[in-house]
Structure 1
Amino acid sequence: MTKSGPFTGMQGRMLIAALLGCSSVIAVSATGAWAQQTDDGVIILEPIVLRADGDQPGSIVAMQSAGAGKIQTPFLDSAASVSVITEAEIKQRGAETVEEVLSYTAGVVTDQYGADDRFDYFKVRGFYPNAYRDGLSLGNPFGSVREEAYAFDRVEVLKGANSTAFGVSDPGGSVNYSTKLPKTERFGEAYVTGGSNDRAEAGLDVGDNLTKDDTLSYRLTAKVRDGKSEYEASRNDEKFLMGGLTWRPTDATKLSVVVDVLDRDAVPGSGGFPIGTDFDRSEFFGEPDFNYRGTDRTTASVMFDHDFGGGLSVGTNLRYSDTASDFGYAYVSGNSGVGTIANRAFFTSDNKGHQLIVDARLQYDTYFADVDSRSLLGIEYSKSSQSETLGFGAAPDIDWVNPVYTGAPDSVPTITDTFTRQRGRAIYAQQDLTFSGRYIASVGLRHDWLDSTETNHLSGVIGSSDISETTGRIGLTYKATDEVSVYGSFAQSVAPAELGLEPERGEQYELGVKYAPLANRAIFSAAIYDLTKDNITRTDPATNLQSTIGEVRVRGLDLEAKAEVTPNMTLTAAYSYMDSQIVRNGTAGNEGNSLALVPEHSGSVWMHYLVDGNQTRGDMTFGLGARYVGGYEYDDANTASTGGHVMLDASYAYQVNEQTQLSVHVSNLTDMKYSAYGGLYADFYNAGREVSATLRRNW
């Protein structure tokens, strides 16, 4: 409970706070009974503000997150930059993919490969992050399965090195998806969507109690889509089904089991366009009969929590997944130099994998003297196997003025055929101490053991690698007031390199300020950082062998705000500055260059406004957003680049009745076209304007 005077000059304070920066919080105010007696005996009650620690359904502002560790931490208390994208924000913007969910987040750049839909493409502070689901590693999204965003009720982006909490990762950050779980009340939604590129989609998310005492609940989430991409010879089909049960035998115990199946039948992308040309996105220079991207994954997750009382609790998360994915296509591999003839190549990929990962942690919260203490001790075990076969070979040339397709090849030469087994073990600890309610110290330590064995079926060579690495993190926070905190932190990261080489290591220093006004639901944050990654595998020019001699550095600034400005208006704003540099690279010509696909400036703003209904019509909401990404280099040699661009998005929703809503979402409103990636062998355009209309019913 916090004392505060009357709230005056709110707009002025919000303007000042916007200049400082931002992140995610929920604040609620109430009047209490802090009394002061005057000389004439009159008792004056001053306002007392209560801040809610939990998230509020339907809000874009999240007050707490897992922060830099695996302990839920209030926004002001965490010595880290954390952005939370809630389910409410995802629905406001009509975000369909993970890239769309993340596209309005400070420090995050998406869509570096344009309309290429093989993977989830995004970078955090200049690096590809590792992704996690419910705190358990999914690996690097680049090269992995595209996640289904409808399966999650929030996404947390932790910026900066953080191997101490989650294990192997790059220093830019990490992204954690939270699975939708059963609730203790009846709820549901069903929707149908139609839109651009022949899109037809339907979804369902329902749940209820199976027992009268709320001890057993279920949730069923499903989605089916039939559609295309921007060119005729394409598919964008999907079937997704997820079912969950939660058992609560007591108020202190909860067990959830979730099983989901993802089945996608899509295409990898257009295959690119000849460099220096300007085509309509509907043109296609691949092969219609050899253009596929399939995903078939089954996942089972178990989450268990028990509170022993007295501050002692235990939690365990387990996930098993069985995945098969493949893609094959013909792509433009360069200009032949003869008229309008483009060279092409075939590429194929076939992957099968299994993963088991489990995390168990013990937490103890206590209080002594004037110190609040939270201690966490955990262990993690993982085991996985993966087979990967890659094919590559020349494809017939094509005339881009008069394309003639030649059909699927009889075969594509195999260039890689490997089978990899990996076993990971880790032990970690985190200690948070709060002194006098104002000074917060957080220390984390983790040790990872990672054993890998790779069998090369082409050469018959079996290679192995054993990694044993310790990483640490320390953060200090000072809560100057009940609305403002400042912090500093140092964190390390570690990621495996090629077999037989030392792992790649990173570290980051960060200073930040956070503001969470008690007068309204809003959060603001600003952070400056300096991160480096060394031991990067590069070709040593002296030996012409792979060696850990690379080093890169990124220095930057992140500003972010999420605010419920009025009961009818919400605002999300973000800005990032990144100064990236290749410090050592083996190739002397690259040293001093900027990192590939890392813009110096990026920013976004999204405003959502509600017009209350009356007796003749229902509520209407209007949303408008702008995303700016500055120019960036296509490669580390900095030989080609793209310019900056602004993309506009919009939404409109009409409340037909209390339970039914009709909404329209438009991405890339002006149909802006630019080359998101290219300059080497082909250009890859960004996705064009997409319009969708959704009829949704909730209960």
Structure 2
Amino acid sequence: MTALMKASPGRRFARPGARRRIARLMLGGATLALVPAAGWAQETPAADPAPAEGEVYRLSPVLVDRGARGDDDARSVVAREISVGGKVATSIQDTPASISVVTQREIELRDADTIEEVLSYTPGIVTDYYGSDDRNDYFQIRGFDASTYRDGLTLGTMRGVREEPYAFERVEILKGANSTLFGPSEPGGSINYVSKLPRFEEFGEVYVQGGSFEHRELGFDFGDTIDADQTLAFRLTGKLQDAEREYAHSRDDEGFLMGGLTWEPTFDTSISLVADWLVRDASPNSGGYPLDRDYSRELFFGEPDLNRHAVERATVTLLGEHDFGGGFSLRGNVRYSDLTDDFGYVYLSDYPGRPGTVVDRFQFGSDSSAQELIGNLIGQYDRDFGAIDSSTLLGAEFRDASTSTSSFYGAVAGIDVANPVYTGAPPAVAPYLVQDQDYSTQALFVQQNLSFYDTIIVTGGVRHDWLDLRQTDRVGGAPVTASDDFAEFSFRGAVTWKVTDEVSTYVSYVESVSPPGIGVEPERGEQYEIGVKYAPDAFPALFSASVFDLTKNNVTIAVVQPDGAIVRQLIGESRARGFELEGKAEITETFSIFGGYTFLDTEVVKGVVRGVDVSGKRLASTPEHMASLWATYVVPGEGARGDLTFGFGARYVGAYYFNASNDNGRSDDAVLFDASIGYKVTENAELQVNVTNLMDEQNVVGRGTADYYNPGRTVMAKLRYVW
């Protein structure tokens, strides 16, 4: 046990009888990781006695316990390590990038029930700008779309599914262009969902929850070791939800089940198998609201008989790693996913100055299926050369995916918004798109890190992706097949200066290549960033600041046409410049706080939309200012009663334009308040009540052929029992 890493203070883990697996992380964690293995460390006073079997123990400052995956995420809002990115778990403080982590503890404190809610307090991210269009999770990072990953593997054709936050022990956000780490990806940033994996200890929880909009929910998450030698552990996580949305004739039902096995036959080998199943039966869209004034969110102007969204996805993932000794280790990950995603709804097609109260409507829907196999193999070699430490990563990735889509669109009978009368499901229309697509991707990458005197860390990386695309259209006679292939390089370079053990600063240059389409050049992005991070030894905390300049070329966007149709158009080049501040701290055992601020100056450098030059316009759905703050305070019960936990948060979202032309209005500045109160009924049971949008503020957050509002006030009560 000779691990020699500067560790994060303030962590504790309970691992009854578990084997300690100790590993060295080179360069103070200068590289990033795609695998879900995390290294955690703990500082303890020298006078602490050795823990007895089954008790909570503290690791010494130089030891890293790789077996206690995610446990600190259940206890703290402050994350000090990250498992996403450059192929090995690493310290956030020494990573040359702007990084945010939403831990399991933070998700629980805010009772975040969707990914949009999970990300709503993260600097640089704007969420939920399509309001009651609930087909997907909508969010942007630094003015651009974000690419999404699960355990470091791209979600790819699974991207359109609303993910279930209860499946994850944390959500990691790596901001800026990242194709050297991830392959084809959006330039705004990347979001990695880290799955809950088995732990070598007995643990568990079960909860019931109810609240607004007839919401009823039951969930469980438990696991333990299976064999006497404690080499095999399991975990079972599930959720069942029966609910409605805030508008009439809606539903929001869900079932989720995930099971995992982890086998660790030796200190150096770990294999995890995780299988999960997600099914949703929900309403895809409220249909929007007329443009002439504000309307109640409870109203529904679509058609109850055509308002469906059915999703079913099954996923199997295999994660493995082995340390050969001598500084060489190998990791491999593979995942297979199968998805069906079908929806249909009726929406308003309004316009300013519309006479009377009858508004036109259209129907829109799609039936699709997808299958995807994706995996990687990553080798790492670490070596010391006196005052220089070296860490080299070499890897290969592959992805094979196929999709089948049938989409329909057409006009239906209008509706009198002053006296709505539903006319039933509109007659079926012939699909305007019937298409099969096949994707094949292979990639090779290398990343080199050099640490000089444990003070200066130089990081360089290069990646080459080969992409083969094939598309068959089956509308209008004989099938028409087209294909295309691409070969793209991306580069990354950075220098980190560890000013002290508590302060580090960095400068970086990173590139991105967005997933292309047949006959369409890939969108390319590049970002320059300077940042500083401060992690005090006095208490668990991490503060960061960054300044960035991000550019995206060959930009294509979705544009709503006058007849209601949606087409993609090339607008040329866009740019986002700004700075971010973020801080998360547990000041005392009873008081924690986190928040941030973003200033974002965006501009279309050159581009044309519908024949109109939009150069100089701001990017759509991108506010100039965003800020958030959440504080939690615990009033100890001291035996007379249970602990009381109070939480209060505020989110500020500045005004932004609704479209790329900046000509159909802009949102209002908005301040939204959230609150929570928890009471510890017994040592193992807690009652918690959360309120989002406490003042029930209503704002237009999206506008096309109709207005879409932000979610209204929601009150949820949860009774949770843990062991």
What CA deviation, in whole Å up to 9, does each residue of 1:266-319 have, x standing for no partner?
001211001022111111100011101110000000000111112111111110
Which stretch of the first structure deviates more once superposed, 110-119 or 67-76? Answer: 67-76
Could you list the per-position Cα deviations for residues 197-236 of structure 1 after superposition, in whole angstroms to 9, with x for gaps in the alignment?
0001000101011101111111110100001001230110
Greater CA drift, 332-341 or 423-432: 332-341
| One of 449, 455, 471 as aligned partner of 1:432 | 449
Change in Cα spacing, 1:538 to 1:570, as seen in structure 2 (3 Å) is: closer
Instruction: Give the alignment partner of residue 562 of structure 1, picking from 578, 584, 588.
Output: 584
Would you say 1:511 and 2:530 are equivalent positions? yes
Residue type at the aligned position of 1:112: Y
**In structure 2, C-alpha distance between the alignment counterparts of 1:160 and 1:396, rounded to whole Å:** 45
Give ranges in structure 1 of 5+ residues lacking alignment. 4-23, 34-48, 540-544
Distance 2:39 2:78 in 1: 5
The aligned counterpart of 2:225 is 209
Do the aligned partners of 1:28 and 1:518 also contact (CA within 8 Å) in 2?
A: no
1:501·1:548 contact (CA, 8 Å) conserved in 2?
no
1:151–1:356 distance in 2 versus 1, CA, 3 Å: same
Residue 97 of structure 1 contacts residue 148 of structure 1 at CA under 8 Å; is this kept in 2? yes
Contact 2:258–2:276, Cα closer than 8 Å, also in 1: yes
- Residue 494 of structure 1 deviates from its aligned partner by 0.2
Contact kept, 8 Å, 2:551 with 2:573, in 1: the verdict is yes
Q: In the alignment, which of 624, 635, 648 is matched to residue 659 of structure 2?
A: 635
Query: Secondary structure in 2 aligned to 1:120?
Result: coil
Q: Could you tell me which residue of structure 1 aligns to residue 196 of structure 2?
A: 180
Secondary structure in 1 matching 2:93: helix
- Render the CA deviation track for 1:497-523: whole Å, top value 9, x for unaligned: 331222111100000011111111101
2:285 maps to 269
Which residue matches 2:27?
none
- Is contact 1:27-1:517 (8 Å) kept? no
1:603 aligns with 2:619: no
Distance 1:256 1:282 in 2: 45
State how 1:541-580 maps to structure 2 within 5 Å: 550-580=572-602
Instruction: Mark the runs of 5 or more structure 2 residues left unpaired by the alignment.
Output: 7-37, 48-59, 559-566
Distance (Å, rounded) in 2 between the aligned partners of 1:672 and 1:167: 40
1:162-189 deviation line (CA, Å, top 9, x unaligned): 0001111111100000110111011100
**How far is 1:331 from its partner?**
0.5
In the alignment, the residues of structure 2 paired with residue 122 and residue 488 of structure 1 have an alpha-carbon distance, to the nearest angstrom, of: 26
Q: Among 653, 658, 661, which residue is 2:678 paired with?
A: 653
Over 3 Å counting, the alpha-carbon distance change for 1:572 and 1:375 in structure 2 is: same
Which residue matches 1:41?
A: none
Letter in 1 for 2:598: S
| In 2, Cα distance between equivalents of 1:538 and 1:340 | 32
Contact 1:26/1:62, CA 8 A, preserved across alignment: no
Letter in 2 for 1:575: Y
Q: 1:374 aligned to 378, 391, 394, which one?
A: 391
Determine helix, strand or coil for the equivalent of 1:593: coil
Q: Which residue of 1 aligns with 2:11?
A: none
Q: CA deviation at 1:603?
A: 0.8
Residue number in structure 2 paired with 1:468 = 487
Deviation at 1:31, TM superposition (A): 5.3
CA 1:664–1:600 in 2, change beyond 3 Å: closer, same or farther? same
- State how far apart, in whole Å, the 1-side matches of 2:192 and 2:238 are: 21
SS at structure 2 position matched to 1:501: coil
Q: Does 1:589 align with 2:608?
A: no
**Larger mean Cα displacement after TM superposition, 363-372 or 553-562:** 363-372
Q: Could you tell me how far apart the structure 2 residues matched to 1:469 and 1:166 are?
A: 13
CA contact (8 A) 1:153 1:179 kept: yes
Aligned match of 1:197: 213
Is residue 574–residue 605 contact of structure 1 (8 Å, CA) maintained in 2?
yes
Partner of 1:489 in structure 2? 508
More off after superposition, 306-315 vs 327-336: 327-336
SS in 1 for 2:432: strand
Q: In the alignment, is the contact (CA less than 8 A) between 2:5 and 2:64 conserved in 1?
A: no
The answer on whether the counterparts of 2:691 and 2:714 sit within 8 Å (CA) in structure 1 is: yes
State the partner residue of 2:123.
Answer: 106
Query: 1:602, CA displacement in angstroms?
Result: 0.4
- What's the counterpart of residue 124 of structure 1? 141
1:676 aligns with 2:701: yes
Q: Which residue of 2 aligns with 1:74?
A: 91
In 2, distance between residues paired with 1:50 and 1:642?
A: 50
Asked if structure 1 preserves the Cα contact closer than 8 Å seen for 2:185 and 2:512, the reply is yes
The answer on 1:258 being equivalent to 2:258 is no
Secondary structure of 1:614's aligned partner: coil
Any residues of structure 2 matched to 1:348-497 within 5 Å, and which? 348-459=365-476, 460-497=479-516
Q: Is the 8 A contact 1:348 1:412 kept in 2?
A: no
* SS at 1:128 equivalent: strand
1:414 alignment partner, SS class: coil
Aligned with residue 179 of structure 2, among 131, 144, 163: 163
SS of the aligned residue for 2:108 comes to helix
SS in 2 for 1:150: helix
Map Cα deviations across residues 44-70 of structure 1 (whole Å, 9 max, x no partner).
xxxxx9487677351111111146522
Tell me if the contact between 1:85 and 1:156 (Cα under 8 Å) persists in the aligned partners: yes
Q: CA, structure 1 residues 30+243, in 2 after alignment: closer, same or farther (shift >3 Å)?
A: closer
Q: CA deviation at 1:546?
A: 9.0
Specify which structure has the bigger relative contact order, considering alpha-carbon pairs within 8 angstroms and separated by 6 or more residues: 1
User: What is the CA–CA distance in structure 1 between the aligned matches of 2:571 and 2:214, rounded to whole Å?
Assistant: 50
1:324 lines up with 2:340 in the alignment: yes
Structure 1 pair 408–294 and aligned structure 2 pair: CA distance change class (3 A)? same
- 1:382 and 1:25 map into 2 onto residues whose CA distance is 28
Distance in 1 separating the partners of 2:328 and 2:108: 37
Matched residue type, 1:194: G
Match of 2:165 among 102, 124, 149: 149
Query: 8 Å contact 1:494–1:504 — kept in the other structure?
Result: yes
Q: Distance in 1 between matches of 2:183 and 2:668?
A: 36
Distance 1:615 1:488 in 2: 51
Query: 2:539 maps to what in 1?
Result: 520
Give the whole-Å Cα distance in 2 for the aligned partners of 1:547 and 1:285. 29
Higher strand share: 1
Q: Deviations over 1:411-430 (max 9, x none)?
A: 03311111000100001111
TM-score by length of 1: 0.91
Pair 67,476 (structure 1): closer, same or farther in 2 beyond 3 Å: farther
Q: Distance in 2 between matches of 1:636 and 1:84?
A: 30
Q: Work out the CA distance in 2 between the residues paired with 1:353 and 1:391.
A: 18
CA distance in 1, matches of 2:575, 2:182: 22
Is 1:68–1:80's contact at 8 Å kept on the other side of the alignment? no
Match of 1:667 among 666, 678, 692: 692
Count of residue pairs the alignment pairs up: 657
> Which position in structure 1 is the counterpart of 2:15?
none
AA matched with 1:180: K
> Cα deviation per residue 1:120-175 (whole Å; 9 max; x = unaligned)?
0000111111100000001388x601111111001100000000011111111000
The letter for the 2-side match of 1:616 is A
Q: TM-score, normalised on structure 2?
A: 0.88
* C-alpha displacement of 1:30: 4.8
1:16 corresponds in structure 2 to: none
Contact 2:157 / 2:372 at 8 angstroms: preserved in 1? no
Q: Please list the CA deviations of residues 342-372 of structure 1 after superposition, one character each: whole Å capped at 9, or x if unmatched.
A: 1110001111000000111011111112011
* 2:110 aligned partner: 93
Structure-2 change in CA distance of 1:666 and 1:62 (3 Å): same
- Equivalent in 254, 263, 269 of residue 238 of structure 1: 254
Matched position secondary structure for 2:301: coil
Q: Shift in Å at residue 2 of structure 1?
A: 11
C-alpha distance after superposition, 1:393-448 (max 9, x if no partner)? 00111001111100012303311111000100001111111110100011111100
| Counterpart-to-counterpart distance in 2, 1:75 and 1:536 | 31
